[in-house]
Amino acid sequence: MAEEKSQASSSKMLTLKASDGVLFEVELNIAKEMKTVQAYIDDCEDIETIPIPNVLGKHLAIVIEYIKKTNEEYDAEFEKQWNMDDLQLLLLAANYLNISGLQECLCKAIAKRIENKSPEYVRKVFNIENDHSPEEEAKLRKEYKWAFEGVDKD
């Protein structure tokens, strides 16, 4: 009995439950990288399953993988695999779980993906409606005419 207990505490596993019910068993030190989870553990020491209501299973899997593997090389290649939707959802996940390294990595990745795009494309990405009048927009476009050269086609 005593043996089992000490084994459990030296490599304690935690279960994270994603919004769609998918369960992930992670080591404590991995889970602690998610500051939100850390705060949860601090509050309720004996907890074994922690609900992550804002994050889908597929994204939580990616986040956990990131924490395990993160280094300069991995980070450089990491963001290339995901489409814009996933990048945003991963960013929201990293934000909710409070993982600053992953947040930085994803913010940089999204910035890189939109830097050469048109304002229309960017509005779609951020789900924003244009609140400029046609005259106001025309004025801005004229003022920044030079910034529109060589923009990617939508």
Q: What is the CA radius of gyration of the chain?
A: 21
Binding mask 109-128 for other proteins (x = CB under 8 A): -xxx-xxx-xx--xx--xxx
- The answer to whether 148 contacts other proteins (rule: CB under 8 A) is yes
DSSP conformation class of 153 = P
Antiparallel, parallel or unpaired: β 13-17 and 49-51? parallel
DSSP state of 54: T
Tokens of 139: 């004025």
Find the shortest distance in angstroms from Cβ 11 to other proteins.
30
Q: Which of 43, 146, 153, 154 binds other proteins (CB under 8 A)?
A: 146
| Interface with other proteins in residues 57-96 (CB under 8 A) | 57-58, 85, 88-89, 91-92, 95
Restricting to residues 126-145, name those near other proteins by CB under 8 A.
Answer: 126-132, 136-137, 140-141, 143-144
Of 9 and 127, the one with the shorter C-beta distance to other proteins is 127
For residue 92, give both structure tokens: 């929201």
Cα(22)–Cα(61) distance, integer angstroms: 9
* Nearest-approach distance from CB 43 to other proteins, in angstroms: 24
Choose between 67 and 93: whose C-beta lies nearer to other proteins: 93
* C-beta separation of 37 from 50 below 8 A: yes
Residue-wise over 29-43: b if at least 16 C-beta within 10 A, else e? ebbebbeebeebbee
Closest to other proteins by CB, 41 vs 113, is 113
Q: What span, in angstroms and rounded, lies between the C-alpha atoms of 91 and 23?
A: 20
Residues that bind other proteins (CB under 8 A): 19-21, 54-58, 85, 88-89, 91-92, 95, 103-104, 107-108, 110-112, 114-116, 118-119, 122-123, 126-132, 136-137, 140-141, 143-144, 146-148, 151
